[in-house]
Amino acid sequence: MKKIFPVLILAIMAIFILAGSAYGDEIPTAREIFDKMEKVNPNLKDFSSEITVKLDGSALFLPIHLDLKGKYFYKKPDKHKLELEKAPKFLSKYPQIFGWHLPELEKHKTLVKDVMIDDLPCWKITLIPIEGRGDIVQEDIWVNKKNYTFPRNLTTYRNDAYIQVDVKYRNEGENSLFDKMTAEFYFPKVKVKATAAAGYSNYKVNIGLTDDFFLTDEDKRKIKEEQERKKAEAAAKKQAEKAKSK
C-alpha cells in the first residue's frame, strides 16, 4: 500500500499537467499579440465614416448633454481626425479613442494575462511606460483571442484620471470596423467626468487621405515656426558670408 500511494499521487499530477496542456492557452508575448493585431484589415489603408456622439456628464460642475454629429477619419498606422460640430475641447483632444490605435511596445514594460470580458476570451496586455508618455501612467488593452480586435482599452493618467473605451465591431466588406463605441472620461484635476456613446455609419474605405490632411492647428503652427527659423538662419548665414567677402 505504501508503494502504491506515491504512484497514485504521480498519476494524479500527470493527469492535471496533461489537462492543463490540452485545455489551457499558452501565454504569448505582447509582441506576438501585437504582430497579429497589426495584420487585422490587411488591405485597409484609410477610411472616413459619419459619426454620431451622445455626450453626457459634467465639466467644472456644469452639466453636459450634447448630441453631436460629424465625421471621423483614419489612416494607417496612427493618423486620426475627428470633426464634430460644437464639440467640447476635451473630446476633440483625443480623436484616437474613436478608432484603432496601438502604442509602441518598445517604449513599455509589458504584462500579458489570460482573461474573460463579457464571456469573451481575451488577452489582457498591460503596458507601463519606460519613459514619459505625458501624464499616462498605464495602458491596458483587452484583445479578442479569435480575431485580434480589441473590445476594451483603459488608459490611466496621473491624479487618478482615466479614459475607458469599449467597442463593438461590424464587418464592412473584408474589414472589421467600429460599429458602436462607448467611452468614459474622468479627469478630476479639471473636474471633468463624462461618457460618450458613438455610432458609425457610411464608411468610405481607401479614399487616399494624405498625412497633411491630419495636421492639427498646433502641428501647422510648429511647422510654420520651423520654416521661419530655417529661413532666418539661411538669411543670417548669407549675410555673414556677404560681410566676410568684403
pLDDT of residue 7: 43
Distance of CA 243 to the CA centre of its chain: 54
pLDDT of residue 24: 52
pLDDT of residue 12: 42
Number of neighbours of residue 196 by Cβ within 10 angstroms: 25
Residue 107 falls in which region: left (phi positive, over 0), alpha (psi -120 to 50) or beta: alpha
pLDDT of residue 140: 96
pLDDT mean for each 10 residues of the chain (246 residues): 46 39 70 94 95 89 88 91 80 72 88 94 95 84 96 93 94 94 90 92 96 87 88 84 75
Edge-to-edge order in the sheet of strand 152-157: 79-84, 62-75, 46-59, 192-205, 175-187, 162-172, 152-157, 136-144, 120-129, 108-117
pLDDT of residue 32: 96
Domain 24-208 has CATH 2.50.20.10: yes
Q: Record the pTM.
A: 0.77
